[in-house]
Chain A
Amino acid sequence: MRFLLIEDNADLARSIRERLEMDGHAVDHAPSLGDAEDHLAVARYDLILLDITLPDGDGRTFLQRHRAAQADTPVIVLTARSAVSDRVDTLDLGADDYLTKPFDFAELEARCRAVLRRRGGAATTLRRYADLTFDPLGGFVTVAGENRDLRNRELRLLEVLLSAPGRILSKDQLNDRLFSLSEPVSDNAIEVYVARLRKKLEGSSARIETVRGLGYRLTGG
């Protein structure tokens, strides 16, 4: 996905950007509303991440202008303000969602997906591997054309495996992507989900291999 990140704090912006790029997203950073307008004039984005307190104005003003101009790029507000009311009025002004800083990247991704799914706007890129088809946004999977019903965690696990097929992913790597980093995770949690995913993908030529002592690997026949 292509993000426009409007955030004036340079450290935070760099960090968010690197973190999103690590997950394979493209990110343009605008440190002010003026820069944001420049970026929007020349490029199309799947999502805008908008800070409220900016050097050349209030993010809410941008939001109003953005909506008044009939621009349909979804906006997720990243607010650092507390006033309970801020959260309400950003939604009233046309934000698709908001997150309070600091936020969990897993939650940011979840919210981005939810917003894009709701908007139905962004063109989904179907991922294919062996006889698997995976729609990360719509969250459905087919095995040889046959629909399989996966829960959210199973979908995320499949997504992580699909992002690096053939490579060994450690339990830790999978844990980090699947579970909240601030909550304790039991050691065998990932084994449980791998077992479930294997069951859901039964009959597929793609298989999840256990590499003893190292982790898991997605292989396709």
Chain B
Amino acid sequence: MRRPLRLPATPRLPSLRKRLIVQLIALSAGLAVVLYVAVRLGAERASEATLDGLLGAATSTIAEELRSVEGGAELDLSPGTFSMLAAMGEERIFHRIDINGLPVTGYDDLPRPPQEPTALEPVFYDADYRDAELRLVAVARSLMIENRAAPVLVIVGQTRDGQRAVAQALANRAALIGLMVFLIAIPFSLLVARAFLRPVGRLAEAVGRRGGHDLRPVRHPAPAELMPLVEQLNAFIARLRQTLSQTETFIAEAAHHIRTPLATLRSEAEMALRQAGDEPTRARLRGMIRATEESARSANQLLDHATVLFRAEQFTQERVDIGAMIAALADRFRPTADLKDMEIRLDLPSERLETTGDAVLIEAAVRNLIDNAVKYSPEESEVAITLTRDGTFARLTLRDHGRGLGGETLATLSRRFRRGPNVGGVIGSGLGLTIVLETAAAMGGRLELTEHEEGGTCATLWFPLSS
């Protein structure tokens, strides 16, 4: 009988594809943010450095251009200095010049640098001034005024509104680029995930298509990372195959080791019986022969039963000519039937009836039915075997003139080791019908047992015809 293999549910992890896509998208989002921040910071720094350079250069020039005159200092701004300051854009400019630590010109309250600049080394700093953020630079030099060196401090401040606007515009562009990178990354991630997982999918499909009875090793190409999995799968398949073949070998060997000594025992007992004269010894020897026969038959049927179960799991599919098989089997039983002067009558259709299944199983089923019919029939009786087409089925009927079913039904008789109440002295194992029923179930057939009005049993077995 075929039972589906039920395994405990495997815990399911989120699909690899989903995980890969999510990770790729998260990664590209992160990259877009990093890109945005980097572009923004870089742009700010670059524009600040440029403007600082210009501011410093202009302030240094102003400091250079201070000349001492009688009683003070004079500033004569060259056109270059103007153009330098003009290059700073639409910014407001503040200045302050201190001599001897006292403001002499410009905005007196313009904040002083946090530390005093050294000679010609400008100091840059930020400060709030008149509601504006200023970038300031202070340059120091000394000037000979009235033959004395007087320290001069030149401070120039500049608003940075224009620069901020430029930096913001650059940052916006960076954000746009980041967003575009992110948007492009989404379909790209999908494509990459699909391409990446294609070998996995193909392998899974190739393994899935095989079905549970294909015990050939998996030869499908697999990426290196999946090779351990495939190798383990193949090792497992090989182990399973070995176990199955060991089971088969075990059944065969068990049979051999049980039957050979039984055969010797039986043969010896038969000879002893031929030579024995006194009735008690003869009765004992007959008992021995019966017991031998009984154990041989039980061993036989048990092993046959194991084979049937084992083969039903294998699910071999081949086309079997039922008529030819029945004819061959009937021929096989004729010498046995002859010993009881029994007749086996065969009625086969002229058309060829084929069924699909395991020939060995079908043979075992039909053999058990014929065996039952011959075994439970009286001497000089007849067993009629008929094969006919019945719709999409082939119907095999075995009609005997034996002892019938003794009031039992198929359901009880086909239980393992269950024999009818009317078996009398006939040796049997109680497994024959179980084997027939299991074979019928394995191949989608049906068995029916009825008692004939005129006595005897009628066994009917339906095989689905090959399409």
Contacts and interface: CB of A to CB of B under 8 A. Distances in A.
Contacts of A82: 251-252, 254-255, 299-300, 303-304, 307
A19 interface: yes
Contact of A102 (B252, B263, B286, B335): B263
B256 A102 contact: no
B338 A152 contact: yes
B262 A182 contact: no
Contact of B336 (A80, A86, A110): A110
Interface in A79-126: 80-88, 91, 97, 100-107, 110-111, 113-114
A83 to B, nearest CB: 5
A53 interface: yes
Interface stretch (A27-35, A67-75, A173-181, A198-206): A173-181
Contact of A88 (B271, B363, B380): B363
B248 A83 contact: yes
A50 B310 CA distance: 28
Contacts of A153: 339, 341, 379
B263 A107 contact: no
A64 B308 CA distance: 27
Given A106-B339, A182-B290, A101 B251 contact: no
A158 B117 CA distance: 146
A9 interface: yes
Interface residues of B, number: 54
Given A83-B307, A84-B307, A172-B282, A53 B256 contact: yes
Contacts of A38: none
Contacts of A86: 252
B267 interface: yes
B256 A11 contact: no
A25 interface: no
Contacts of B341: 151-153
B312 to A, nearest CB: 12
Interface string B443-457: 000000000000000
A33 to B, nearest CB: 17
A85 B264 CA distance: 24
B273 interface: yes
A184 interface: yes
A3 to B, nearest CB: 14
Interface in B204-252: 248, 251-252
A24 B338 CA distance: 22
A61 B12 CA distance: 53
A190 to B, nearest CB: 13
A183 interface: yes
B296 interface: yes
B85 to A, nearest CB: 107
A19 B269 CA distance: 10
B344 interface: no
Contact of A176 (B263, B268, B273, B427): B273
B360 A9 contact: no
B160 interface: no
A22 B263 CA distance: 17
Max count, chain B CB within 10 A of own CB: residue among A11, A78, A100, A101? A101
11 contacts: A83-B251, A83-B303, A84-B360, A104-B293, A105-B267, A107-B339, A114-B335, A152-B341, A172-B277, A180-B339, A182-B290
Interface of A: 9, 11-12, 15-16, 18-19, 22, 53, 78, 80-88, 91, 97, 100-107, 110-111, 113-114, 151-153, 170, 172-173, 176, 180-184
Given A110-B335, A172-B282, 7 more contacts: A19-B270, A80-B263, A83-B255, A84-B364, A110-B339, A114-B334, A182-B290
